[in-house]
Structure formats: C-alpha cells, structure tokens
Amino acid sequence: MQTDAQEAEKFRQTEVGRFARVLALAVTLIAAVPALIGWMSAPTGSLYLGAQTALDDHMVYAAWMRQAMEGRLLFDNRFTFDAQPGLTFHAYFLVLGWLARVVTIPVAATIGRLAFTCLAVLLLSRLVLRAGFNVFQAKFALLFTCFGGGVGFLVWERFGEVTVNSPQTLQALFGGRLPIDVWQPEAFVFPSMLTNGLFMVSLCLMLWVLIAALEARDSWRPVLGGAVAYGLLMNIHSYDVLLLALVLVGLLVASLARGRATLAWALRVGTIGLGALPAALWFLYVLSQDAVFQSRAETPTFSSTFPQVLLGVLPSVALAAVALFGRERRAQYGGAALLALLAALFVAGRGHDPSGPFLSLGPWLALAAVGLGIVALVASEDDGWNLFWAWSVMGLVAVYFPALFQRKLAMMLIVPWAVLASLGLAVLLARRERSTRNMASALALVGICASSILWFQRETVFIRTDVSRTALHSVYISNDAVRIIQALDRLPGRKTVIAMPGVWNETGPAVFGRPLLTDLNPVLSGLTGAYTYAGHWSETPNYNRRRAETTAIFLRSTDEPTRAALLAQIDPDYIVAPNPEAFRSLQVPGGSIPIADLRPYGETVYAGTQFILLKRPRG
C-alpha cells in the first residue's frame, strides 16, 4: 500500500508531466507559426529562407549542411577564398545536412529547431521535478522560463542595439542602449525557439548535463549520458562548456558550504566533465592548423553593458530575490550581498563601452570569488535550489569572462532566474486568497513575458516587409536569384563567386524595409556550396576590407583599370551582378548609387530581370 508521501509524489509527477507535455506542444506550434507564414506567403517562384533574425548566421549553418549533403564529414569555411585544411566537424549540422537531402536546407533547419524546442521543455520539467518543486512552482517555472524576458518591451526596437524611437525620458533611463531581451536571442528561451535551432539543441544538452550532475550524487548510472552530452555540447556550442563548468563549480561550493559534498559525487561530476575532452582536443588541433578558423575565433564579441544585461532579466531577478528573503537569515544575508553586487555593477557598467571588455582578468577573478561567496551564503540542503542559484549568479559572472567571445557566455541566462522567480512568486502568494493568487499570477506572467510577445510580432513583421533583422538581407530570394542558385548548385567541384554586398533601405530612424539590394553573398555560400570573397562579417577574414573591395567592383564610379585590377586580384570564377537594365542606380537618401555594367567581364550564364550570372573567362 502506498503511503501519503508516495501518493503526493505520484500526483506531483503526473501533474507536472502532463502540464509539460501540453506546454511543449503549445510552444512548438507557436514557434512554427512564423515559418509557416513565411512559406505560405512566399511569392510565386521565390524561395523562403526559413529565418528572419541573423539570417547571415543561418547561412553559415546552411553551408555546413550543404557540405554534409555532399557526403563530407569535415567542413571548411565557404565565406572566403583563403586556402583551408577543412577540419571542422559539427555533429548537429551534419545530421541536419543528411535530412536536408530529403527536405531542403531551410526545412531541415526548421525541423531541428522545432524538435529541440519540444525536447527542451520536457527536459526542463525533468530538472525542476528533480529539484523537488511543488506543482504550482514547477508550472510557473516552466512558463516563466519558456516565455520570460526583461523590461525591453518599454523601449522596443526592431533593429539595432540602441534606443532611437523611444521617449527621451526612457532613453535616458536606459542609458541609450537596449536591454538584451530586445536583441540577444541566445540569452532567452522563447526568442531562441523562434529563431535558432542551434541554441535550442545547446539548451537541451545543457539541461541533460545538469540533470546528470544532480542524479550523479547517488549513482554512476547517469554519468555516461552526461559525459556524452557534455562532449556533444563542446562540439556543437563550445562556449557553453565553460559556462557549465562555472555553474558546476558554484554547485560544488554550495554543497561544501552545507556539508553535502562527497568525494564520490565530485568524482562522478568530474567524469561527466571529461566527456568534453575529445571534442576540446580536436578543437585545439583545428585551431592550430587552420588560419581561417583562427581568424574567426579572434572576432571580438564583447558582452553588453551590465545595465543592458540586468534589465534584460530584471523581472525574474526581482522575484527570485523575494524567494531569498523568505528563508533563513544566512540566505537573507546572501540576498543582501547579491543586491549590493548588482547595484554596484549597474552603476559601474553605465559608463562601459561594449566595444571593449568590461573587466580584465584580476577584477573578473575578484567578481567570481564574490559570486561564489554569495552562492555559499544562499546554499541550502536542497541540491536543486543550490544548482539554480549557482547557475543564476555564476551566469552573470560568466558574461564578463575576459575573452573575445564573452557575449556567447550569456547563453540561456534567463533560465535559472526564471525558475527561481517561480519560487519567489510562491512566497508572495502564500496565504493569499485564490482570486488574488490568480490575478497576481496572471499579472506576473504578463510582465515577465511581454518581450516574448514582441519577439513573435517582430518575426511576422520581418516576413511581411521582406527584410531580415540584419537589414541587408531579404527574407525571400527572388525568382532570378533562385535560378542563379540552381545554376551554381549544379556545378561540380570548387567554385568561387562574388556578388554586390547589400544596400539597406532605411524607411525611418532605425527602421528598415526590403533592402534596395539584398546581399546574396552568404546565401550563395549557404545554398550552393560556393566560396564567396566577402560572405560574412565574422567568418570572412578582414571582412570590412574585402567587402569594400567587392563593392568597388560593382560601382560605376570605380575607374576601369581599378575594377579590372580588383577582379584580377580576387579572381572569382563567377560574378552575380545586378542587371544594369534594372539597376542603373540605387536611390538612397541624399542621392543615388550608380551601378556598373559588368557584362563585358564575363560570359552570361543566366540573365534575369534583376540579376545576371557571369562566368569569367579562364586561360
């Protein structure tokens, strides 16, 4: 006969499991809507690329998938003409490339995104169940995590990272910069569900590793799965391995603070960590052998100012703090220390220029030590509580790790804060009447999730106006460009191509419509396997110089000797040029951009109304 405790546990798991399955299905369907609109609204003969945000990045993924379709296991960089050894291995896009043989690259990428969207919710429910949350806490942990954001909805912009169209009072309050919940999808779950399958598979692997770390306290059984997940994470999104290492150190410190750490558990978690070693060694080997990969790794992506980061998760942080102040005095001291640290970083960060690092190694190590001290103070006998506080605090510390890629370390920053926010909400609503609880819960949900609603709206607006968030790329590829893609795709062997870089269409202050001329360079690399000379801002070495050189070739203002010299220097096999009959000039604010006729420089392979494909003579 089951005891009352067993019955209660069965009820908890059943209720949370049922809710998680419904939520997983719901968010997957919601995340599919923009793409479905994109395909259903595609003009006749055009190609919908399946993405609106960071479309150029999606073409990097597409280029790997395209190589997997060719039967390659190791990939090279198709966004440069530079010689490369071709050593990159990426498990996720390898598998999607195999799928793309059947369903095309955009469809395969969408299937991957939606599949891991569904799985992420189910894994998160397993983690919160393992953490011991009751039914109310678990349901709101899932809701807050799936849809949580910050206060960016108050200064919402469709493009850029600075406030332009908001009232001056709000611009001053926000320091002229947008919170990260407006523009950094990888830090949030719902924006990632909408925009990027790579972020969703990475979240699934992160959750898998953390579940294994908790379950490893009692057994070696979860260690193998956790090690495999950690190894895959190192291969698929390597930055997250460092983030999880900091989180696991925080969990260890919390366990030591409460006398719960054991040597056996530490060995098991350490063994999980060793799972990343083979992929890490391969990464270092590729880095030592591939100059193009080295250049890519050296692209600076510094974190935003601390006010941008904090405001991007502020509602969840505020509710999470409530959970601390309802506990023992030691945790309250930790909460006070946390709030003091956040306030100090907020003040110090207001003058920070995000084009450079916020902290050098010494100050960052001091910040990490303070963070670990806070984690120790708020620690309890509950592993789940300790894990989420370690993730929350060390997640904020990680984003300023002194490295060029530090912005990547904001990966899924909202998750632990949103989970803890559910505990804070439970504290606030304890002993309240049912009607009051329901109203307060609804208000909290709306406040935390407002930015996610605007993310969804923005994706549909991008589709309707046919512009990616880059402002330089169209969402749809015209019939002309589709024909050129098909022609290049049929060509065997290595092929190099240049196209005129994009020209945006600013229809208002920091508001853009369909590009005056879409940048086909990344699309050509992504969908045809061609090498482009200036294809991507971070994948192409010396991108700004190469973009300027490519642009000069297509401008009528460039004298013929210079144009011929540039073509000889770059030496592409093919040129995708604007049709001079359609693009004699591009009208831009304040004047026009005269476009050169490049037909004398090659044999016409395809001539459309917008673009022509030229093959340059050899020999």
What is the SS3 assignment for 15-31?
Answer: HHHHHHHHHHHHHHHHH
pLDDT over 90 at 343, yes or no: yes
Coil/strand/helix, residue 507? strand
Average confidence (pLDDT) over 258-277: 96
pLDDT at 329: 87
pLDDT band for 441, please (50, 70, 90 cuts).
confident
Alpha-carbon gap, residue 72 to 89, rounded angstroms:
10
pLDDT at 582: 84
Instruction: For residue 324, give the amino acid letter.
Output: L
pLDDT at 47: 96
Sheet holding 531-532, edge to edge: 531-532, 496-499, 574-578, 611-615, 603-607
- The overall average pLDDT reported for the chain is 94
Average confidence (pLDDT) over 68-78: 97
202 compared with 445, residue with greater pLDDT: 202
Under a CB-based contact definition with an 8 Å cutoff, are residues 110 and 50 in contact?
Answer: yes
Under a CB-based contact definition with an 8 Å cutoff, are residues 500 and 506 in contact?
Answer: no
Tokens of 279: 């992929």
Q: Name the residue with tokens 């250049």.
A: 295
Phi/psi for 217 (5° steps) reads: -60, -35
Under a CB-based contact definition with an 8 Å cutoff, are residues 238 and 284 in contact?
Answer: no
pLDDT band for 619, please (50, 70, 90 cuts).
low
Instruction: For residue 330, give the amino acid letter.
Output: R
Q: Taking the model in full, what pTM does it have?
A: 0.96
pLDDT digits (tens, 9 = 90+) for 113-149: 999 999 999 999 999 999 999 999 999 999 999 999 9
Q: Is the dihedral of CA 399, 299, 287, 357 positive or negative?
A: negative
pLDDT over 60 at 31, yes or no: yes
Average confidence (pLDDT) over 522-531: 97
pLDDT band for 1, please (50, 70, 90 cuts).
low
Closest to 573 measured CA to CA, from 616, 520, 524: 616
pLDDT digits (tens, 9 = 90+) for 476-508: 999 999 999 999 999 999 999 999 999 999 999
pLDDT over 90 at 55, yes or no: yes
CA atoms within 13 A on the CB side of 516: 18
Closest to 411 measured CA to CA, from 249, 278, 538, 233: 233
Closest to 155 measured CA to CA, from 146, 145, 163, 147: 163
Under a CB-based contact definition with an 8 Å cutoff, are residues 102 and 145 in contact?
Answer: no
Coil/strand/helix, residue 403? coil
Alpha-carbon gap, residue 141 to 145, rounded angstroms:
6
Bridge pairing between strands 591-594 and 585-588: antiparallel
600 compared with 591, residue with greater pLDDT: 600
By percentage, how much of the chain surpasses pLDDT 90?
88
Under a CB-based contact definition with an 8 Å cutoff, are residues 80 and 535 in contact?
Answer: yes
Q: How many C-beta atoms lie closer than 10 Å to residue 170's C-beta?
A: 11
